[in-house]
Amino acid sequence: MKEQRWWATAILIGAVIGLVCLPLGAIGTRLGVWGFQLGLGLVAIGAALGALALLTGFIALIVTFAKRLTGERATIAVALILSAVVVGVVGSQAVKGRGVPAIHDITTDTADPPQFNRVVALRGPDSNPLTYDAKTLPALQAEAYPDVQSLVTDESPGEIFSRARGVLDRMGLELVNVDGDAGVIEATDTTFWFGFKDDVVVRVRQADGGGSIVDIRSVSRVGVSDLGVNAGRIRAVLQELR
């Protein structure tokens, strides 16, 4: 009886630590306490503890019923709930990551992607390069995000430029450069948990025969895969502009 009670407590402690590791890794990264590598490492540790607690929790629950140990069931049940949350949160991100290519530079115009100007100085020496990989990225993007295309509209460049600025502002992006003469808007988006920064540039040009062509590029400062975030951001902006 005593051994089972210790086992149940240990499983609960593992589940609690696993759950705490998720926000701890993210918040510590956002506050600059440690780098994103350590933050992601804490999330990985939390996921491993959560999975272990979930597995051993199910085994322990079966044992309590087999041996009629009622005192440990509540503790194990709580551990199962907490570990299921951990596995569910991390698992959903892992599934999302498997469904998209490991890229972080998305644009509506792969032949002539919009270029960044003032954002460059903000990215820092350890950020991903802004040089567009024209050999690899277009094919990967076309397969994963075929709907991410330039927006052609009957609106004048001035009108659509003004609306684009309003859209980025409403989405909570920090506007870095608003150049109406060049038809370029640069902005930075910061993720809620980790504080990861993605840079966005919107380019508005006069279309042949009238109207405008709007192109958007969204690039993550760190990491390899963006889990589809950049493409999702571009889709949201295009939807608002339509």
- On whether both 158 and 226 belong to a single domain, the answer is yes
Last residue of a domain, one of 98, 113, 144: 98
**Confidence tier at 1 by pLDDT (50, 70, 90):** very low
Helix (H) or strand (E) holding 1: none
> What tens digit of pLDDT does each residue of 85-130 get?
999 999 988 887 878 999 999 999 999 999 999 999 999 888 999 9
Average pLDDT of 220-232?
93
**Is 20 exposed, middle or buried, given 0-12, 13-18 or 19+ CB atoms closer than 10 A?**
middle
Strands (E) across the chain are located at: 105-107, 151-153, 174-179, 184-190, 197-206, 212-220
CA dihedral 174, 192, 151, 142 (to 10 degrees): 130
Residues of the chain above pLDDT 70, percent:
98
Average pLDDT of 43-68?
94
- What pLDDT, on the 0 to 100 scale, is given for residue 209? 84
- What pLDDT, on the 0 to 100 scale, is given for residue 126? 87
- On whether both 77 and 133 belong to a single domain, the answer is no
- On whether both 117 and 232 belong to a single domain, the answer is yes
- On whether both 90 and 60 belong to a single domain, the answer is yes
CA 68 to chain centre: 45
- On whether both 75 and 146 belong to a single domain, the answer is no
Show the CA angle centred on residue 211, arms to residues 205 and 215, nearest 5°. 35
Q: What is the pTM of this model?
A: 0.83
Determine phi and psi for 187, rounding to 5 degrees: -150, 165
- On whether both 118 and 197 belong to a single domain, the answer is yes
Average pLDDT of 133-142?
96
- On whether both 153 and 67 belong to a single domain, the answer is no
- On whether both 214 and 235 belong to a single domain, the answer is yes
86 near 22, Cβ under 8 Å? Answer: yes
pLDDT at 4 over 60: no
Contacts of 114 (CB under 8 A, 6+ apart): 107, 184, 201, 202, 203, 215, 216, 217
CATH of the domain at 157: 3.30.310.80
> What tens digit of pLDDT does each residue of 177-204 get?
999 999 999 999 999 889 999 999 999 9
Q: Which of 92, 241, 97, 93 is nearest to 171 (CA)?
A: 241
- On whether both 93 and 114 belong to a single domain, the answer is no
Q: Which of 194, 191, 201, 195 is nearest to 168 (CA)?
A: 201
- What pLDDT, on the 0 to 100 scale, is given for residue 99? 80
Residue 59 structural domain: 2-98
